[in-house]
Structure 1
Amino acid sequence: MKYNFDEVIDRRNTSCVKFDAVSERLGRNDFIPLWVADMDFLSPPCVIEALKKRVEHGIFGYTFPSPEYYRSIIDWLKKRHHLTVKKEYLTFVPGIVKGIAFAIDEFTEKGDKVIIQPPVYHPFRIVTEGLERQVVNNPLALENGRYRMDIDGLKKAVAENDCKVLILCNPHNPGGRIWSSEELAIIAEICYDKDILVISDEIHADLALPGYHHTPFVSVSEKAAQNSITFMAPSKTFNIAGIVSSFAVIPNIDIRKRYVGYLEKRELNQGDLFAYTAAQAAYEGGEEWLDELLKYIKGNIDFVSDFLATHIPQIKPMVPEASFLVWLDCRGLELSQKELVSLFRDKAHLVLNDGTMFGKEGEGFMRMNVGSPRAIIEKALINLKNAVNE
């Protein structure tokens, strides 16, 4: 490989949530952190060089998104996802979770109902409840170690509740599923006919692993395009989560006017110069780096799968189709969730995400971030093997 993903870089004492917040929250710092969803790899050289060049200019005044910034997004979506968008479809948002919150705030009222599909990224629930809306759960079905959408359950939930929004996780976090165009088209049909706005979180879109291809929700049908807000970002893809550079794709002019109007009234659609610089550089020059990263991540996932099958067969990984997150089915250990968390944290000295964070459907599971050098992953698994054996 041209890029060295085996390099171990010390991230401690950089105000890094993944490392530095652990000791603050847990009172110890003897953990291998495999939780927060960013990676331990250097960002692409093209991003680092673009930021250096901008810093060396030395003046950091007011800024705006350049035509080249928009063109980099448009070209990237066309090349990587076969998605054709116009400049006017795009707007900067200061983070995808914030963007989802803004959409809920604008398109629903207090007490309105919002559908989520657990186990799923926990801010969907937290933001909805925080804005005093009601969560309607449409749990995913787990079959043969893989999630599928419960379409019959969705139809029942829609029939029994006056729902205003469905928040879609595409690709799915924590399960790593890339939803098929057929599944997405059914969602689009149901929600369009019932006037339920689809908010599609596609932050892991670019992280489809070798052999898989992400399908943007907006691309599956005209009903999907005309009844959705899609959120994307280079943050997970190029490991620049600390540089907030998300954007929304909104083809429907009426939805777009309302959403952009909400942002403009609060000056929420104005990014900083580093966000624009980093995003443009990543999309223009980061493809080779990304392709190598995905091969390395796939190698890490294979390593985890082989190690667990050989040494801890009670734990079965749900092999993801996208992202650097692995959903571990630990039910074979026959532990309570409290005992399971303690096994990882207190005995193996690992910090993973507790599966119940993603809903009660996550009981018996843990989420593992494998976006680290393989030596770190190996050490973590050895710790876990020893803890289980003890």
Structure 2
Amino acid sequence: MSIFGKVYDRKQTRSVKWDMLQEVFQSNDVLPMWVADMDFKAPEEVNQALIERAKHGIYGYTTIDNDVSSSIVNWLQRRHDWKIDPSWLSYSPGVVNSLHMAVQAFTEPGDKVLIQTPVYTPFYNIIKELDREMVKNPLIYKDQYYTIDFDDLEKKLASGVKAFIFCSPHNPVGRVWNKDELQKIADLCLQYNVMIFSDEIHADLIFPEEKHIPIATLSEEISKNTITCMAPSKTFNLAGLDASYVITSDKVNRQKLDKAFHRQGFHNMLNTMGNTALEAAYQHGEAWLDELVQVLEQHAHYVREMFESHAPELKVVRSEGTYLLWVDCSALELNKQELKKFMVEQARVGLNAGQDYGTEGEAFMRINIACPKTTLEEGIKRIISAVQAR
């Protein structure tokens, strides 16, 4: 059996995904396929590194040394052809924290911040909580695929937008933006003096025929206009260890960002176990990741084929990466409340409701396919049976 085929009991481990079903879905009788973590064990080298560190038994303040920063530098070079200087790195508990700090560092209350909808829910929350004005550039949806409306994007950027929170690869629609798309975005942001805050947390989870291009790699000028947020958390299922980093090539911008972190009490540190896991994952996790990506691609094909054959009302948006599938349920002709209720009460699956990603997502559901095949098969069978029974 593949290391990704084994089923682990995650209940009563304080798992958000498995132990909060009653709070989230008002039912414990659902199969959780929602929040973005995986039902797979981290690479064995990571687990062993954590065990060895725990054996020491002392968990004092932990520094980030050259071994840790070098593991990031080497990873980015190998996986993304991106040569960075270690001095460009800042550290944070998570990408969402970093985006909060970037918005505070480079914009003021009332400033316009742009997002491309439907998009990851915290993007909305950051803008609202920090009293910025939200500007939406809705993606174009056609034939189960999303593209960028560049005419609308330019119009919105020209309206006085100060920053663009960019999702690359995109959550939830699964797009891996190509070089032409990235270049157009970057050029428009330079033209209208708009900073790019690029959330690239899913950068490693790319299907084999695609390639993730960090937008900051397009040119030195674009790099200086970009704050890139990355982490091993989605890649290696380490979200609970609070370890991420920010890449800022421009020294002045980096100082401004670090100052924003310091004002909130963050001082360029990672917790002891996050530090250990990050280094071990980037040094030893490559073979594990390559197998994972193959499994995820197979799972995506399975879901698409099953729905096409047995529940054609459900259209799987063509995904190029991530372990999250965006499913068009509009043919069911249910409103957003009815759709959410149908999946919980009739299908008995716990999915992310598309409405949480903006009004453009109200007829959609997001499915997490990062689970053993037997779990996936059970979840998809439940959904198909419920659709057929309508």
TM-score, scaled relative to structure 1: 0.97
Name the counterpart of 1:240. 238
**Counterparts of 1:244-323 in structure 2 under 5 Å?**
244-268=242-266, 269-323=268-322
Name the counterpart of 2:73. 74
Map Cα deviations across residues 14-70 of structure 1 (whole Å, 9 max, x no partner): 110011111233332111011100000011001000000000011111110010000
**Counterparts of 1:103-122 in structure 2 under 5 Å?**
103-122=102-121
C-alpha contact 2:25 2:350 (8 A) present in aligned 1: no
C-alpha contact 1:352 1:368 (8 A) present in aligned 2: yes
Structure 1 residues without counterparts, runs of 5 or longer: none
Q: Secondary structure at the match of 1:205?
A: coil
Name the counterpart of 2:123. 124
Q: Secondary structure at the match of 1:6?
A: coil
**Counterparts of 1:142-161 in structure 2 under 5 Å?**
142-159=141-158, 161=159
What letter corresponds to residue 389 of structure 1 in structure 2?
Answer: Q
What letter corresponds to residue 306 of structure 1 in structure 2?
Answer: E
Deviation at 1:265, TM superposition (A): 4.1
Moved over 4 A (4+): none
C-alpha contact 2:157 2:194 (8 A) present in aligned 1: no
Q: Secondary structure at the match of 1:302?
A: helix
Q: Secondary structure at the match of 2:134?
A: strand
My pick for the range that moved more, 279-288 or 315-324, is 315-324
What letter corresponds to residue 162 of structure 1 in structure 2?
Answer: G
Distance (Å, rounded) in 2 between the aligned partners of 1:224 and 1:317: 34
- The alignment-based identity, stated in percent, is 40
Distance (Å, rounded) in 1 between the aligned partners of 2:24 and 2:380: 23
Q: Secondary structure at the match of 1:262?
A: helix
Q: Secondary structure at the match of 1:236?
A: helix
Q: CA RMSD in A?
A: 1.1
Distance (Å, rounded) in 2 between the aligned partners of 1:280 and 1:272: 12
Distance (Å, rounded) in 1 between the aligned partners of 2:25 and 2:362: 22
Deviation at 1:106, TM superposition (A): 1.4
C-alpha contact 1:207 1:323 (8 A) present in aligned 2: yes
Distance (Å, rounded) in 1 between the aligned partners of 2:252 and 2:186: 18
Q: Secondary structure at the match of 1:264?
A: helix
Task: Determine which of 173, 177, 180 is the counterpart of 2:178.
Answer: 180
Name the counterpart of 2:334. 335
Matched, 1:225 2:223: yes
Deviation at 1:267, TM superposition (A): 3.6
Map Cα deviations across residues 117-164 of structure 1 (whole Å, 9 max, x no partner): 0001111111111111110001111122211111100111122x2111
Distance (Å, rounded) in 2 between the aligned partners of 1:331 and 1:344: 13
Distance (Å, rounded) in 2 between the aligned partners of 1:28 and 1:72: 43
Distance (Å, rounded) in 2 between the aligned partners of 1:190 and 1:382: 45
TM-score, scaled relative to structure 2: 0.97
Map Cα deviations across residues 67-102 of structure 1 (whole Å, 9 max, x no partner): 000000000000000000000111111111111011
Deviation at 1:207, TM superposition (A): 0.3
Task: Determine which of 190, 193, 196 is the counterpart of 1:192.
Answer: 190
Q: Count how many residue pairs are aligned between Structure 1 and Structure 2.
A: 388
What letter corresponds to residue 216 of structure 2 in structure 1?
Answer: V
**Counterparts of 1:29-44 in structure 2 under 5 Å?**
29-44=28-43
Distance (Å, rounded) in 1 between the aligned partners of 2:142 and 2:332: 19
My pick for the range that moved more, 112-121 or 326-335, is 326-335
C-alpha contact 1:94 1:246 (8 A) present in aligned 2: yes
